[in-house]
Amino acid sequence: MTTTRRKFLAGAGVAGAAAASATFPMPAIAQGKMQWKMVTAWPKNLPGPGVAAQMLADRITTLSSGRIEVKLFAAGELVPGRGVFDAVSEGTAELYHAVPAYWGSKSKGIELFGSQPFGLRADEQFGWMAHGGGQALYDEMYARFNLKPFLCGNSGPQWQGWFRKEINSVDDLKGLKFRTAGLASDMYARIGMAVQAMGGRDMFQALQSGALDAGEFIGPWSDSALGFYQIAKYYYWPGVGEPSSAEECGINMKVYNDLPDDLKGAVGFACESLYNPVWTEYTTKHALALQQLVAEQGVQVRKLPDDVIVALGNAAGEVMAELREDNDELVKRIMESFLAYRASISEYMTYADNGQMNARALNYKY
């Protein structure tokens, strides 16, 4: 067992049944300081999102000069990981750290702000939000739920996931019990996979028991801490279901609106200023973790066959077409904004990033 996994599992054991009966007062104020509870969707110390959540709590405290003291509660300590959206919406905690992909039951439009099958990369996702009109739509959607949202990080490209058997055709995917989240779930279901939603630790147990045949979580850094390599040795790429996955901070709307302007600015900047550091930490540590998984754990890295990728792309296109015809007028506007930005940036990236990466991959001395 790796040192990282031992450290994570030690922290992850802190959750209790007593938390379920906890009561939640409104923000405590002591000597002019506000004390905020941050609830998260992650186990404590989980490499990747668990680390990023703590970074955000610390940064809000620092940039507010301590006028807002943020204490982090990991999944299960105050509320279940998938309960953080409602907890903050209802005012039982001040803010949460999670991913938009978890809130599709609230609105399919929400999921577009986190990841889209065959969609935007991490830098493109932030570009849509900051420069393509995405943030205004993000605010409008979350206002329905009494929340003020900010993106505050990104995992970068996720992986297709962990499989016990090799994948050689679309038929090999049909009927597989597969863990994923967000709009990717709809895409995989359309080609016949039996999609299930669950957290990372539950995914490990389900793979171990045989309740799952395969699953994806994030990428090598986070996945190695959860030990999926112990059960499934085939690690497939590319994760076309989530070309990136944005992390978000949701703040109770009244709590946010009651802040003076300087503290609103501090909170917003704390979120936005973490996007690139979180993304680049994922990328750096994913690369190192993948090397270790292959060299030390015997993981076999496999690429999805092109015909499988095309089939998934066609299924994703069907999901996108349905969203364009959604009954919710706001979802349709979010969808049209996303598609317009994707079309524009994809054309440019053919010459820019795609061109550079293809050139770097050629065989030459360096």
Residue 193 and residue 242: Cα distance in Å, rounded?
A: 17
Contact in structure between 50 and 74 (CB atoms under 8 Å): yes
Residue 63 and residue 269: Cα distance in Å, rounded?
A: 8
Q: For residue 163, what are its two tokens?
A: 């499989």
Question: Which residue, among 279, 205, 216, has the nearest Cα to 242 in the 3D structure?
Answer: 216
Is 291 annotated for ligand binding? Answer: no
Q: What angle separates helix 134-143 from helix 329-351, to the nearest 10 degrees?
A: 150
Residue 233 and residue 168: Cα distance in Å, rounded?
A: 16
238 residue type, one letter? P
Contact in structure between 112 and 233 (CB atoms under 8 Å): no
Q: Which residues contact 289 (CB under 8 A, 6 or more apart)?
A: 219, 220, 221, 223, 224
| Residue whose pair of structure tokens reads 């099958």 in the numeric block | 117
Q: Give buried/exposed letters for 308-343 (b at 16+ CB in 10 A, else e).
A: bbebbeebbeebbeebeebeeeebebbbebbbebbe
Is 242 annotated for ligand binding? Answer: yes
Is 216 annotated for ligand binding? Answer: yes
Is 158 annotated for ligand binding? Answer: yes
Q: For residue 68, what are its two tokens?
A: 């807002």
Residue 218 and residue 48: Cα distance in Å, rounded?
A: 9
DSSP result, 68-106:
EEEEEE-TTTSS-GGGHHHHHHTTSSSEEEE-GGGGTTT
Q: Which residues are annotated as a binding site?
A: 158, 179, 216-217, 242
Q: Which residue ranges are tagged as binding site for Na(+)?
A: 217
Q: Which residues are annotated as a binding site for substrate?
A: 158, 179, 216, 242
